[in-house]
Amino acid sequence: MNYLSTLNEKQLEAVTTTEGYLRVIAGAGSGKTKLLVSRYAYLVKEYGIDSSNILCVTFTNKAAGEMRRRIRSLIGEEYDTSLICTYHGFCVRVLREDVEKIFYPKEFQIIDGSQQKAMLGDIYQKFELKLDHASFEKVMKQIGEFKSSNQDYVQKMCDTKQCQIMPDIRSLDDRIVEEFLQRQKQVYATDFQDLIYFTLDIFNRCPEVLAKCADIKSSAMFTICNIRIIRVWMWDASVPDGWKGIRKERKDGSRSLKTSRREKRTLKTVSGKPQRIPTVILKSRTI
């Protein structure tokens, strides 16, 4: 348990709190990664939780790889750490297993920015338009905003019958977005945003899939950010007021935990019954 001796009092409190839900809100330099790595090790080594029952998600492959490396240095190489992954990686795992339940093939493809640009290039040629960087960024923003505000689009993407995906098509931009979505549907192509919304859809429409995930990971599930609020987090955390709005929603039982690393920062935890299903939430910038 030498790793616990390197934690300050408040970090130790967060690491060793194992009953009920725990939320951590931490600024840059507050030792949040150290806390999470230590918490994982504590659950496995001292609390006896099977590492294959711990879901630990972050935003980038690089961060997930670093988290996995640091955890293995504490607990050893023999443990299953496959659920230390990105949000999108976890979503892919869920969808590859059960996406057929919403009438979508398991062999769906995941497209990146270059593939999206190629698809839009063909669409622009169809409408006799010129695609430049500015127009590409503009259309991709419109597509993203449509998906985030109309998450029932997933059901139309999964519908085996031909149907209009957008509720209203009033402008040329709308026609381009609709055409893009239809082409995605034709070739079973998903982007990174789709991975999250498809997963949420399957959880909502197929409670047995959600129950299976909950049952497998019921021993000790902790996340860096609740997948159900990831759109709010990614959108609103880009500005201080956006994060404050989320924080105000979840003030119940909050208490301040000071840290001593680098500058003075604030680390907050909340334990008790959650409004949704959050376990650990981390903030990446100073409030």
Is residue 251 within 8 A of residue 287, CB to CB? The reply is: no
Tell me the torsion sign for CA atoms 15, 6, 63, 97.
negative
Under the banding of pLDDT at 50, 70 and 90, the label for residue 33 is confident
- Name which residue leads in pLDDT, 110 or 32: 110
pLDDT for residue 10:
80
Q: Please state at what angle helix 113-126 crosses helix 172-187, rounded to 10 degrees.
A: 120
Give 185-202 pLDDT, tens digit per residue.
999 999 999 999 999 999
Query: pTM for this structure?
Result: 0.73
Tell me the torsion sign for CA atoms 130, 131, 133, 134.
positive
| Among candidate residues 68, 52, 99, the one with its CA nearest the CA of residue 215 | 52
- Name which residue leads in pLDDT, 33 or 268: 33
| pLDDT at 23 exceeding the cut of 90 | no
pLDDT for residue 237:
30
| pLDDT at 214 exceeding the cut of 50 | yes
Mean pLDDT across the stretch 69-78? 92
pLDDT for residue 286:
33
Under the banding of pLDDT at 50, 70 and 90, the label for residue 273 is very low
- Name which residue leads in pLDDT, 20 or 133: 133
Give 86-137 pLDDT, tens digit per residue.
989 999 999 999 999 999 999 999 999 999 999 999 999 999 999 999 999 9
CA 284 remoteness from chain centre: 14
Give 159-190 pLDDT, tens digit per residue.
999 999 999 999 999 999 999 999 999 999 99
Give 216-265 pLDDT, tens digit per residue.
544 444 444 433 333 323 222 333 333 333 333 344 443 334 443 333 33
Is residue 195 within 8 A of residue 149, CB to CB? The reply is: no
Tally Cβ neighbours within 10 Å of residue 56.
23
Give 36-62 pLDDT, tens digit per residue.
899 899 989 888 888 888 888 888 899
φ and ψ of 159, to 5 deg: -65, 125
pLDDT for residue 216:
55
φ and ψ of 26, to 5 deg: -135, 140
Beta strands 21-26 and 255-258 are unpaired
pLDDT for residue 50:
87
